[in-house]
Amino acid sequence: MTETSGEPYQCMQEVTISDYANANGLEISQVACPNGHFCDEPNIRDLYGYDSTNSITYIKLFFTIVREDDSTNPAITPQILDQQMQQLNDDFLPYGIQYEYNWRYYESSYFRVFSAPSYFSCDSMRQVMYVSPETQYNVIATHLINPGNSWTTNPTLFDPMGYRSGSIMSTNPLGAQFTGDLSRHVFSHELGHVFGLIHTYWGYNELASCINMCAENLATGSSDFAGDRCSDTPPERWWSGETFAGAGLDSCSGLAWPIYPNKNHMNISIYGANKLFSPQQVSRIYCYMEDYWQHIIAGVRMSADTTFGKAPFTVNFSGWSDKNVNSWFWDFGDGDTSVVQNPQHQFDTPGVYTIETNINSNEGEYTQIKNSYILVHDDTVKTIELTSSPGDTVLLPISMTNFIPVTKMTIPVTFTGIMALTVLDVSTEGTRAETSTSTIVNYDSFNKRYTFILETPFGEPVNPDTGIVAYMKIIVPSGPPDSLSVSVSPYSSYDVLNEYYDNVYTPVTSGSYLIRSGCCENIRGNIDGDALDQVDISDLVYYVDYSFGSPQGPAPSCYEEADVDNNGSLDIADIVYLVSYMFSGGPVPMSCF
């Protein structure tokens, strides 16, 4: 292709999150960057990742090598490209990723050499050079004059299937970016950007202003909870090499730079970034792959019409392959399998399921595994019986059985009865949701209705289990014996809800509290207070001794038990009632409730 001659073609070297924020008037934190994608949250990120038991994931790349109009002076040779790909696959093999690639030449002296002040001016080059970005990741190899670096578009900024995705690899010798020099592992670095990874240094060097919210800061260290973009790895000094001598301070935190060699692929220095990705970064790569890059996976890939629901839960799976497939195999993680390309499967038991599909093809075997892909819930929130005495301050336990992680719980509680309770607080101390914050969002004391919300902190869900998640702290009023039923149930606009990030569902509720402000158990008549709560002749003797004994016998320990006929007083009528019950087949003593 021939273009009009003139100044070298211009496009920007790299679009970072901070560039995007500055261009759009967004505020940038100098302490910690916000989490702009669910893969930034450690709890979600850690559902992904790779270990040696997983299969290899194959990614499709397509290279356009720019050369002059007369087919001379290619940006790189096929031999150099092959060397780069061998190194790329060596770098990514420990993390279960390999790259398949094709390439072509593109004749354009106009695009063969250019400078780079404007990102969007690259559009025309990408539009004419990209090949099927909806099925493969495109890379252009050419020569950048200024600043001489390769660049990759962060997948959160533009459509990964569009012409603004992809990478431009520079062959500028100053940057030693995409030439025969393999010491810097630059292509591995750029492919890290493809999967959402950010540089592991703060700014462009240790003297840069503290403006880039997506690079490392010594003050944040390697804490997961500052956000992956800031702290998925320890920060490294930009110009430090395999050995480092001399003092240096991080201008953002004022802390001294540690003395250790660069190791992470997402650092960059004159010595290269050529060692490893951190475990957090690997999980982040797989998380981004799931959300943005399914369309460039080669060999085999799967999808599902739904991934979240209540047991029994039916899912329709679809398998895709660009190979000549001889056979399919699916493992649904619950002991069942299938050998068809597009199976339907019912999950009868709630839980979190990892799905695997495998093909045998003329080109070999390919497998895709999606960890924690299917979430099946059948949660319950329940209450239990509780006995109290007048004036007591008691803790009413709320118990939950959850089969998938829960990040937020909405729990409405209703009280049925004439007793007036005072709700003091909701506490998670000592429960399996202890790190959650509790907030009472509705307090309708007149109608005896209360709703509170439990919300977990960043990255710390309530994991699947059974047990108490909260206590309601209440005061039982003083006064005559009374009872009150307490249950978890919806009212007005308040529903019983569990949430796992964007997944919202209603758990089953069961049971109810029976709060009794008294000492009576079951039926009345256990006047001597025996531990087995039996009503027998010893109770009658006790009552007669109390009523007519000389000297008078001890008073009943529980007034309500002695008020056998429930008329509000202790008198001869209670004794007559007991005699009739025991010896004449009279009615059973009145209930305590």
In DSSP notation, 377-427 reads E--EEE---EEE-TT-EEEEEEEEEESS-BSEEEEEEEEESSPPPEEEEEE
Per domain, the residue ranges of the chain are 9-286, 299-377, 380-517, 520-593
Beta-carbon-side half-sphere exposure of residue 146 (alpha carbons within 13 Å)? 8
Which residues touch 252 (CB under 8 Å, ≥6 apart)? Answer: 30, 202, 203, 210, 217, 218, 219
Pairing type for strands 351-361 and 113-115 reads unpaired
pTM over 0.95: no
Please tell me the predicted confidence (pLDDT) of residue 514: 62
Please tell me the predicted confidence (pLDDT) of residue 2: 30
Please tell me the predicted confidence (pLDDT) of residue 28: 37
Give the residue ranges of the chain where pLDDT is below 50: 1-35, 117, 173-176, 202-216, 222-231, 234-247
Question: For the purposes of burial, counting CB atoms within 10 Å of the CB of 478, is it exposed (0-12), middle (13-18) or buried (19 or more)?
Answer: exposed
Question: Which stretches does DSSP call E strand in 437-591?
Answer: 437-444, 449-455, 465-475, 483-488, 497-500, 503-505, 508-510, 513-517
Instruction: Take residue 180 and report the two structure tokens written for it.
Output: 């025969």
SS3 of residue 189 by DSSP: helix
Please give the CATH topology (third level) of the domain spanning 520-593.
Answer: Type 1 dockerin domain (1.10.1330)
Count Cβ atoms below 10 Å from residue 457 Cβ, excluding itself: 12
Please tell me the predicted confidence (pLDDT) of residue 208: 43
Question: How far apart are alpha carbons 591 and 574 in whole angstroms?
Answer: 14
Please tell me the predicted confidence (pLDDT) of residue 560: 75
Question: How far apart are alpha carbons 447 and 450 in whole angstroms?
Answer: 9
Please tell me the predicted confidence (pLDDT) of residue 12: 32
Kindly state the helix (H) or strand (E) to which residue 230 belongs, with its residue range: helix 228-231
Q: Specify the CATH architecture of the domain 380-517.
A: Sandwich (2.60)
Domains 299-377 and 380-517 equal at CATH topology level: yes
Helical segments of 29-122, H only: 42-45, 78-92, 109-112
The one-letter code for the residue type at 254 is G
Please tell me the predicted confidence (pLDDT) of residue 149: 67
Q: Specify the CATH architecture of the domain 299-377.
A: Sandwich (2.60)
